[in-house]
Structure 1
């Protein structure tokens, strides 16, 4: 294990970088970089998350990586499919080691009510299609404790008491995401969407949410191809939200 498949580029290892997404972006701008090239690091000095959040990570403890795709067959309006295949690959990967791993819309990975993994995807467009997609992920792997005021982080070590080889985990992930990318290229979008919805966090029952008008309880009805989250509140009203328009209250 830990040996990269012959048909994927060997991952690039950096002892330290500002962020793996930024490094890979600059590399792609300077030279020809093969699809499914990945970069991982011991430490990010400026790791980025959704909503401009930073990502707390003890040096050398976790898997911090990015990879590049060139999905020029995919229209920009369907870019949520890239979030789905990345999240599915992560959910399946981590589910080998523990139960109750779920995808929290749009693409965080949760164990029970705690965040084990976050992803930031940055897409470049040419016309109406996506010319390049760089996906950066932080997986809390071997960290023993978290010191920041982030509300609910957890690591796989905290869950299982075991330590994990980062390159081995990255290898497994890249195999899985490549398989999902093949499904995407083959037009299997309904299969991808159904698998995504089957492993959603809070997919059953009513839970607390918050939007610009305040808190409410609702259940998940589904996810639109655009990525919009469809909720139904306790009065039966249907509510539709794009990214950052609603938050899950924990």
Structure 2
């Protein structure tokens, strides 16, 4: 089960790096989870850094062994995103959304992100290293960050970060344990029902061009269907940027 065992690290460069090193040393039980009080080089999507004041937010990584093929990676991404979404909505309310592909949003602001890295043995998907950073108790963010938000800012109260991290594991396990080829269509439908900006005109950037587009769908393999000038573009990860007003 995700979160069993649950190990607390006082400081680490990145919980994903730490998990990768443990896997490289030998077999690791699926569900093993590491929570960091402090990360000195936390990793986000596309090489971005994810930093936090010690003890303030959730920074954890869990090791998974999906019974899936490599061509089904987005299935795992959907299950993990839904688990994080369930968790954050429980405390922040119904304005919580999933931003494609797997960020957690509240209104137009980013509450958390997910980074899944894979360990392969030949063509076998041996491990998925699923890292999560979720803003819990940060009272103020640096001005250079685009649109962050914390649970404390939303609710007006401080939280026990360690206890919330364990609750996050429970929600992740609930979704992950139900993931299969048969259940995936229903999971994907629920993912899309809670998708940020679905069917809403908004600004995007592709190859330097900013334009108004509308998200119409997410395909089973994870491609985003974005309408631009009545044409549907099918986009992979990193091919489109969401534009936000400040």
- Bin of the TM-score, shorter chain as denominator length: over 0.9
Aligned residue runs from structure 1 range 8-87, under 5 A: 9-71=4-66, 73-87=67-81
RMSD: 1.6
Question: Are 2:3 and 2:166, in contact at CA under 8 Å, matched by a contact in 1?
Answer: no
Counterpart for residue 103 of structure 1:
98
- Unaligned runs of at least 5 residues, structure 2: none
Instruction: Kindly indicate whether residue 116 of structure 2 is the aligned counterpart of residue 121 of structure 1.
Output: yes
Select 2:86's aligned residue among 84, 92, 95: 92
Q: Deviations for 1:184-211, whole angstroms, at most 9, x for unmatched residues?
A: 1463110110111011000132111110
Q: Which moved more, 1:28-37 or 1:152-161?
A: 28-37
Q: Which moved more, 1:204-213 or 1:42-51?
A: 204-213
Q: Number of aligned pairs?
A: 243
Alpha-carbon deviation of 1:134?
0.3
Q: Which moved more, 1:125-134 or 1:194-203?
A: 125-134
Distance 2:121 2:180 in 1: 18
Select 1:176's aligned residue among 158, 171, 175: 171
Distance 1:205 1:160 in 2: 26
Distance 1:82 1:148 in 2: 34
Counterpart for residue 227 of structure 1:
222
Question: Are 1:76 and 1:125, in contact at CA under 8 Å, matched by a contact in 2?
Answer: no
Aligned residue runs from structure 1 range 141-152, under 5 A: 141-147=136-142, 149-152=144-147
- Unaligned runs of at least 5 residues, structure 1: none
Q: Which moved more, 1:50-59 or 1:13-22?
A: 50-59
Instruction: Kindly indicate whether residue 186 of structure 2 is the aligned counterpart of residue 194 of structure 1.
Output: no
Distance 1:82 1:207 in 2: 27
TM-aligned CA distance change 1:148 to 1:28, over 3 Å: farther
Alpha-carbon deviation of 1:8?
5.0
TM-score when normalising by structure 1: 0.92
Alpha-carbon deviation of 1:126?
3.6
Q: Deviations for 1:108-146, whole angstroms, at most 9, x for unmatched residues?
A: 111111111011110123444421100111110011111
